[in-house]
Chains A and B, each alone.
Chain A
């Protein structure tokens, strides 16, 4: 990244001009909004872990989705989801993805490339698909084939490690989307992709980059991923495998009967630009990013701090960066995992920030529709909210029959969806994500 010749006297307003998402609900905003309006549940029994549910991305063919690209073999499933979302977001913003598309050989008007020095901020979670490469990498295969000890493992690709490196997906996105500015890969667990959007916005706001691409993609539905969650006791595992409806009721954020989260998978990406630049080139802003806050609990390696005091600091930091107060917030997209500890701490936070001050923003929990998309959850949830907002409504919290707090205005699942508050008039939303290790992120947007 080249340092700017001078910092702007006033920060730029930052807008999202392109959004791409690959989600359990669908891969276009229209499909996502339609699925939620119809009450479509993407939850299924998890084949690899009887008793557990999951929310897979259906109909995802990597070859079709990424186009013929020979290096896709080096991406984990999460990396593939990130790449596809980034390609969609870049194209939607009106920029070319692959160098050949800029040549215009077919007579079409060539699309411009992203500006020089466009930043890439990518969220990255661990690939936990250990059954894919580890048996070949460990001694198991060697023993089976009676090969001598050493580091000769003929079952492995030469560059198998690329599937495990945290920045491989970001490198793929940079290659395909033509991003050549600062690169940053965030490993802040389930707060990472919301933080990526906020970090991308900050770079554009302060003139450190002329544009930025924020991206996240993650999948933990492999045997290794589910095993990790199962051993940690974080997911519900007592579903009746014979009950076809059981998965649809497993994810119950903020309900007194919640029993743990349900893993999902997905990818989402956003192109962020200064508002004036977007308008000058005729791009249509989808949302404005107003502020971000991020903190650490410094409390535990897995559990959230029970009173969510540092998460509250992230919320207040995001509002301060946005120049807003809690009373300006029309709706909250909570982290809302459906675990006992997360939802209890988050309720305390929301009650302190909003209810105690006499404010009652609508509260939703997108994970009740997508499952928990791990490090990609913030980006996926923002994409789902953009899709619903474009259709004029807020998604309800599925399966919420007995809310744990009567002081918060949860969006309840009723026959008609809740209209987006202040629809068409600067609807201000607060998104929250928290991660293992006490990672807290908050983002304020205006739709």
Chain B
């Protein structure tokens, strides 16, 4: 797919919904950027592997799972607290695709004991948009 033509977040979101829906055997119309992958869908590590492979296929971008899926989120927060670094700064560095507002949301959510993983389809959309912009102009 000529993914480079799909830089608008809405188009990226639609493409990701089309990619994610068959993995969970659901209707793409039921998915939105606010859909939480781990809490609203039965997403497991096996599925993140497929989503990562699908992002690579659809958008021709390298996918770093740890960043795209916030997989080490709790570790980063703990590490920041251990070293005395502001967690917001640590997350902003690890997840440059997330807005400051979203970083704050993520940080608040991860501090709730027992809360499900916060990863949303919108976070994945942001990662793809950031990655596409970063690689724009570079040879494929």
Contacts and interface: CB of A to CB of B under 8 A. Distances in A.
Nearest to B47: A70
Interface stretch (A150-158, A255-263, A430-438): A150-158
Contacts of B52: 158
B60 A157 contact: no
Given A158-B50, A159-B49, A159-B50, A68 B25 contact: yes
B53 A156 contact: yes
B46 A159 contact: yes
B34 interface: no
A279 to B, nearest CB: 39
Interface in A62-96: 68-70, 73
Nearest to B55: A154
Contacts of B71: none
Contacts of B46: 159
B57 A155 contact: yes
Contacts of A157: 50, 53
Contacts of B23: 70
A159 B25 CA distance: 17
B41 to A, nearest CB: 10
A70 B24 contact: yes
A68 to B, nearest CB: 5
B4 interface: no
A152 B140 CA distance: 14
Interface residues of A, number: 11
Chain B interface size, under 10 / 10 to 19 / 20 to 34 / 35 or more: 10 to 19
Contact of B56 (A69, A73, A154): A154
B60 A154 contact: yes
Interface string A159-180: 1000000000000000000000
A57 B25 CA distance: 24
Nearest to B56: A154
B117 to A, nearest CB: 18
Nearest to A162: B46
Nearest to B49: A158
A66 to B, nearest CB: 10
B44 to A, nearest CB: 10
Contact of A69 (B25, B49, B60): B25
A70 B25 contact: yes
Nearest to A154: B57
Of the listed residues A69, A152, A156, A157, the one surrounded by the most CB atoms of chain B closer than 10 A to its CB is: A157
Nearest to B60: A154
A159 B45 CA distance: 11
A158 B46 CA distance: 8
Interface string B57-87: 1001000000000000000000000000000
Contacts of A68: 25
Contacts of B25: 68-70
A154 B50 CA distance: 11
Contacts of A152: 56
Contacts of A158: 49-50, 52-53
Interface string B78-103: 00000000000000000000000000
Contacts of A159: 46, 49-50
A70 B47 CA distance: 10
Contacts of B50: 157-159
Of the listed residues B24, B46, B52, the one surrounded by the most CB atoms of chain A closer than 10 A to its CB is: B46
Contacts of B24: 70
Nearest to A69: B25
A152 B60 CA distance: 11
Given A69-B25, A159-B49, 12 more contacts: A68-B25, A70-B23, A70-B42, A73-B22, A154-B53, A154-B56, A155-B57, A156-B53, A158-B52, A158-B53, A159-B46, A159-B50
Listed from nearest, the 3 A-B pairs whose CB atoms lie closest are: A158-B49, A158-B53, A70-B25
22 contacts: A68-B25, A69-B25, A70-B23, A70-B24, A70-B25, A70-B42, A73-B22, A152-B56, A154-B53, A154-B56, A154-B57, A154-B60, A155-B57, A156-B53, A157-B50, A157-B53, A158-B49, A158-B50, A158-B53, A159-B46, A159-B49, A159-B50
Interface of B: 22-25, 42, 46, 49-50, 52-53, 56-57, 60
